[in-house]
Amino acid sequence: MTNTKLCIRRHAFRLPILSGIAGIALIAWNCQPEKRVNQDPPHSTVEASVEPTVDSYATPDYGAPEPEVKADSTEEEHKIEIKTAYGSIMIGISEQLNPVISSEEAEKIIQKRADATILYLKNRDFENLAEIAHPEIGVRFSPYSEISQDQVVLLPEIIENTLMDTTAYTWGIYDGITRPIESSFKRYFERFVFDRDFSAADTVTYNRIIGSGATWDNVLEFYYRDITVQYHFYATEEAPTDWTSLRLVFSEYNGQWYLVGISHNEWTI
């Protein structure tokens, strides 16, 4: 009995002590800062929100970035360079560089001089041909329809004595075989100038081109300020590729019209 009472007394003594300790611990816990507790269960998958990609330039300060090609692009972005007798010029890619002088006006201006020139060529009268050749820039000779600034140009004093000139010039490239056309003026003349009697051509046009082969035909662009006269033979049913033309180009200088170009044209590959 005594032992039982002693045990009760001991436990009755401890209870206030334990209660005091528990109270202090509770007070200390309540004084701790608030902590965020992860309420998700272990290993649970949390879907992250996907935000749309925003260009770094698209900010309230700068606005959306400009497109690479503007809708109102300038005409300069749509032009190409054209080589002419007067240097390079720029024209729209959808445009065509037409002659300054109309066909009707050109015929009135140059018909007599052009017909006289054809007779000089037919008669091999190079002395008179030199008289109507441009005194400053001479005459450019083109074996085919493409005209370029690097083709042979002969001054009047050379043309006057050209039949005695044995110099081998490089006139261009033979169509189809890509071999240089290297010959004297006399041989070139017989093949690429007066290979037919153009004084009896089927038709004559002024600043208007007919007949076209595979070679680029830029005579009206190259000489767009001048007058081009074409003497043309049509093809026949028996020979559909047997057409040919001779073109004479005249330019005004000091109030007179002088010969500046002789261009031959025929069917090309």
- The pLDDT value recorded for residue 13 is 43
Q: Is residue 22 part of a domain?
A: no
Q: Give backbone dihedrals phi and psi of 88, rounded to 5 degrees, phi first.
A: -85, 140
- The pLDDT value recorded for residue 211 is 76
The structure tokens listed for 185 are 């003026």
The structure tokens listed for 171 are 């006139």
- The pLDDT value recorded for residue 213 is 67
Q: How many domains does the chain divide into?
A: 1
A 10 A CB-CB count for 265 gives 26
Q: How many residues does the chain have?
A: 269
Q: Is residue 198 part of a domain?
A: yes
- The pLDDT value recorded for residue 77 is 62
Q: Is residue 149 part of a domain?
A: yes
Helices H / strands E in the chain, number of each = 6, 10
Residues 6+ apart with CB under 8 A from 118: 198, 199, 231, 246, 248
Contact criterion met (CB below 8 Å) for 150 and 142: no
CA atoms of 224 and 179, how far apart (whole Å) = 30
Q: Is residue 173 part of a domain?
A: yes
pTM of the model: 0.70
- The pLDDT value recorded for residue 209 is 92
Q: Is residue 199 part of a domain?
A: yes
A 10 A CB-CB count for 97 gives 15
Determine the structural domain holding residue 123 and report its residue range.
Answer: 103-266
Q: pLDDT (tens digit, 0 to 9) for every residue of the chain, 269 residues total?
A: 444 444 444 444 444 444 455 445 444 445 454 444 444 444 544 454 545 444 433 334 333 444 444 444 455 568 888 899 988 988 888 778 889 999 999 999 999 999 999 999 999 999 999 999 999 999 999 999 999 999 999 999 999 998 888 999 999 999 888 899 999 999 999 999 999 999 999 999 999 998 776 678 899 999 999 999 999 999 888 888 889 999 999 999 999 999 999 999 998 87
CATH number at residue 116: 3.10.450
The structure tokens listed for 88 are 């390079």
Q: Is residue 110 part of a domain?
A: yes
Q: Is residue 54 part of a domain?
A: no
Q: Is residue 13 part of a domain?
A: no
Q: Specify the residue for token string 């009896």.
A: 200
Q: Which amino acid would we find at residue 259?
A: L
